Structure 1
Amino acid sequence: MRIALAVGWWRIARAKIAHTKFVRNLICRPLLSVDSPDIWKINPGSSSHFSSHPSSNFSASNEKIGVVLDGKLIANDLKSRIAGEVNEMKKAIGKTPGLGIVLVGERRDSHTFIRTKVKACNEVGIVSVVAELPNNSKEGDICDAVSRFNDNPSVHGIIVQLPLPKHLDEEKIMNVVSVEKDVDGFHPLNMGNLAIAGREPLFIPCAPKACLELLLRYGMDLRGKKAAVVGRSKIVGLPTSLLLQRHQATVSLVHAFTGNPEKVTCQADIVVSDVGTPNTIRGHWLKPGAVVIDTGTSSVEVDAGSFQCLFLVRNEHCSFIFVPSFFLIRSYQTLNPPALHLIWLFILLLGS
C-alpha cells in the first residue's frame, strides 16, 4: 500500500514539475548544446528553424506555376541535426534515447508508419523497441505494454500507433501513457495545452508539426493567411488547425457535415487534407497559388494483389508535397522530442 502511494505521489509530482513555466521554457526550445558531462543548457542564439530557401515560384495565393515542396530535403536536414544531437549526448552523459512503440493489429498503413519510424531511429542512433500485439488484444494487455514502457528508464518516448482496432477504447489507452513520454502529443494534457492560449504542450503531434515545419522552411508568413483543414481527426486535422491558429492564420475546418466544402477550400491560401479517400479534393476546389499538403495515404488495387498510391490532387497552379516525402518529415519530427529534450526526461522527469 505504501509503495503504491509513493509511486502515485511521484507521478503526480513529476507531472506538476514538468508543467511549470521554468521547465516548459527549457524543454520547448529545440536546439541544445553540451555545457558539461551531465548538464545540458539552451543555446540562446539558436533558432527553431533553419534558414529557409523559398523557391522563386513558391508563394501562397499567386498565379505562378506550382512547385513541389521538397519534404525529403527537409527530412534529411532534420536527420543530420538529430543524429548530431544524439551523438553529442552519448559522448556527454553516456545515454542513448529510447523510443517504445506499441503496435496492435495488421493494418497495412500502421505497419508502414512503424517501419518508417524504426528505420529513422536506426539512422540517427535512437534505440527503438516495438511491442506487437494481435488484433484481438484486450485493453488490459495494451495498457500493460504501455505501462512497461512507462516504467522502463531506458525508454524516453512512447508511441501507441493509431488507429487501434474498433473494440478498444483509444482514450483509455492513451491516458495510460506518461505525459512526459507522450512524444506523439495525444495525451489529454498535451492536447489540452495545445488548445489553450498561453500554454505550451510538452509535445506536439508530429504530422501537424511537420506541416508547420514545411510551410515555415519555405519562408511562408502564415499571419492572416486563410487555411482550410479538410478533416478533423485528433491525429492530424484538429491539432493542425490549432497550430495554424497559433501562427495567426485564419482557419476553417471542413468535415463530413460541411455544406459545399469547395466554397471553403477555393478561398484558402493553404489546404491541408486529413482524409483517407482518394480524389476527395478536386482541382477546381483550389484557387491558383494555393499550397496543398496531403497528410494521408490512399491506395487502390489496380491488379490482383497490386496497389497504387494516389495523391491528393495534381494541379499545375498549386504548390504541393508528395506523400512519401511527408512520411519522412513526420518520422524525423517524431524522433525530435526524444532526442532534443532527452536530458530533461532523464534528470528531471525520470529521476535518473
Structure 2
Amino acid sequence: MERGTTMEALKGAAVSAAIKEQVQNRLAELDGYIPTLAIIRVGEKPDDISYEKGAMKKMASFGLNVQSYTFPEDISDALFKEEFAKINADKAIDGILMLRPLPKHICEKDIEKMIDPAKDLDGISPENIAKVFAGDSTGFAPCTAEAVIEVLKAYNIPMQGKRVTVVGRSMVVGKPLSMLFVKENATVTICHTRTADLKAECSRAEILVAAAGRARMLDSAYAGKDAVVIDVGINVDENGRLCGDVDYESLEGIASMATPVPGGVGAVTTAVLAKHLVQAAARARG
C-alpha cells in the first residue's frame, strides 16, 4: 500500500479478511469437518465478556463452531481443574482459549502445564512458549503477538534489519512478540517500567510497539520521524471510551503509519485465533 504524506491508519479489518480467506482454504481441505473452539471463562469481568463475544462473533463469521464454558468466580481450584481436564480431554474440542487472568485462588501455572499443547491456541503452555522462543513454527504463538506480525506483513512493512522497540515485557505479548520479530530478522529492544529514558529508546525505533497496558502512555514525543507505531493496548479512558496505549491523534505528522484502537490489532487477534483453530484441527486429523 502506498504511503501518503499524512499518517496511514493500519486497519485490522483488511488484515482479518485476508486471514479469513486463508482459513476458508484450509477448511476446504477438511472435507466438511467444522472445527470447534472451547472458550473458558471464570467470573463475569466485563472485558472478558466483551472479548468472548467478539471471539464468538468472529468464529461464526469464519464458519467455525464455538462452545462457551463459564464458571463462577468462586469455583474452587480443585473443581476448576477437574472441569478443565474434561474439556481438555474432549475429542470434540479442537482448540481451547482460556480467558486470563484467572481469579487469584486458582493456580494459573498448573493450568498452563495441564493444557494440551496441540489445543493451546493462545500459546500459554510451556511447550508452545519454548517453541516460540526456539523459532519453531509448529508451536502456537500468543494470538495478539502473532497479530502484530500479521498486520506488518499485510501492509508490506519490512521487518528485516529494522530497529524495533517493544514497550512491555509480559509473556502474553511483549516477550513472545520480541521473539517473533527476531525470527523476522529485526533488531529488537525490549522496554519496561524500569527502562532509563524511555522516550529516547522509543524515538530511535523504526517500528514501535506499545504493549504496556496503560492508557495513552505514549505520545508523539516517543515516536521517531516516519516510525510505524503498533498499539496493542486496549484500555478504557476516564470518559468510558476504548483507547490504546498510544495517543493516536498526536502521532499525525510524525509517524508514517499507526494502528488505531479500536479497529487495529484487536480485530486481527481473533482472526489469528480462528487460523490457529483450523491448523489444530488439520493436525489432529492428520
1:201 Cα deviation (Å)?
4.0
Task: Give the unaligned 5+ runs of structure 1.
Answer: 1-53, 58-63, 348-352
| 1: CA distance, partners of 2:21 / 2:261 | 21
> What is the aligned-residue RMSD (CA, Å)?
1.7
Are 1:160 and 1:174, in contact at CA under 8 Å, matched by a contact in 2?
A: no
| 1: CA distance, partners of 2:57 / 2:82 | 25
Q: TM-score, normalised by structure 2?
A: 0.92
User: How has the CA–CA distance of structure 1 residues 83 and 144 changed in structure 2, closer, same or farther, with 3 Å as cutoff?
Assistant: farther
Mapping of residues 87-166 of structure 1, within 5 Å: 88-89=28-29, 92=31, 94-166=32-104
Where does residue 232 of structure 2 map in the other structure? 295
Mapping of residues 189-228 of structure 1, within 5 Å: 189-197=127-135, 199-228=136-165
Amino acid at match of 1:335: A
1:81 Cα deviation (Å)?
3.4
1:97 Cα deviation (Å)?
0.1
Amino acid at match of 2:243: L
Amino acid at match of 1:295: V
The count of residues paired between Structure 1 and Structure 2 equals: 280
Amino acid at match of 1:188: P
| 2: CA distance, partners of 1:323 / 1:80 | 24
Are 2:10 and 2:259, in contact at CA under 8 Å, matched by a contact in 1?
A: yes
Question: CA offsets per residue over residues 53-77 of structure 1, 9 Å max, x none?
Answer: x2233xxxxxx43210121111122
Are 2:192 and 2:212, in contact at CA under 8 Å, matched by a contact in 1?
A: no
Aligned counterpart for 1:70 among listed residues 7, 11, 21: 11
Where does residue 263 of structure 1 map in the other structure? 200
1:141 Cα deviation (Å)?
2.6
Where does residue 274 of structure 1 map in the other structure? 211
Where does residue 50 of structure 1 map in the other structure? none
| 2: CA distance, partners of 1:163 / 1:309 | 20
| 2: CA distance, partners of 1:243 / 1:294 | 16
Where does residue 285 of structure 2 map in the other structure? 346
Where does residue 269 of structure 2 map in the other structure? 330
| 2: CA distance, partners of 1:218 / 1:328 | 15
| 2: CA distance, partners of 1:206 / 1:323 | 17
User: How has the CA–CA distance of structure 1 residues 341 and 106 changed in structure 2, closer, same or farther, with 3 Å as cutoff?
Assistant: closer
| 2: CA distance, partners of 1:273 / 1:108 | 23
Where does residue 320 of structure 1 map in the other structure? 258
Where does residue 247 of structure 1 map in the other structure? 184
Question: CA offsets per residue over residues 248-285 of structure 1, 9 Å max, x none?
Answer: 11111111111111111010011111122112112111
Where does residue 56 of structure 1 map in the other structure? 3
| 2: CA distance, partners of 1:232 / 1:281 | 16
Query: Structure 1 stretches (4+) deviating beyond 4 angstroms?
Result: none
Larger radius of gyration: 1
Amino acid at match of 1:181: K
Question: CA offsets per residue over residues 234-253 of structure 1, 9 Å max, x none?
Answer: 11111111100111111111
1:343 Cα deviation (Å)?
2.5
2:242 is paired with a residue whose SS is: strand
Q: TM-score, normalised by structure 1?
A: 0.75
| 2: CA distance, partners of 1:290 / 1:143 | 45
Question: CA offsets per residue over residues 33-72 of structure 1, 9 Å max, x none?
Answer: xxxxxxxxxxxxxxxxxxxxx2233xxxxxx432101211
User: How has the CA–CA distance of structure 1 residues 260 and 218 changed in structure 2, closer, same or farther, with 3 Å as cutoff?
Assistant: same
| 1: CA distance, partners of 2:231 / 2:75 | 32
Where does residue 308 of structure 1 map in the other structure? 241
| 2: CA distance, partners of 1:122 / 1:169 | 31
Aligned counterpart for 1:79 among listed residues 14, 17, 20: 20
Where does residue 283 of structure 1 map in the other structure? 220
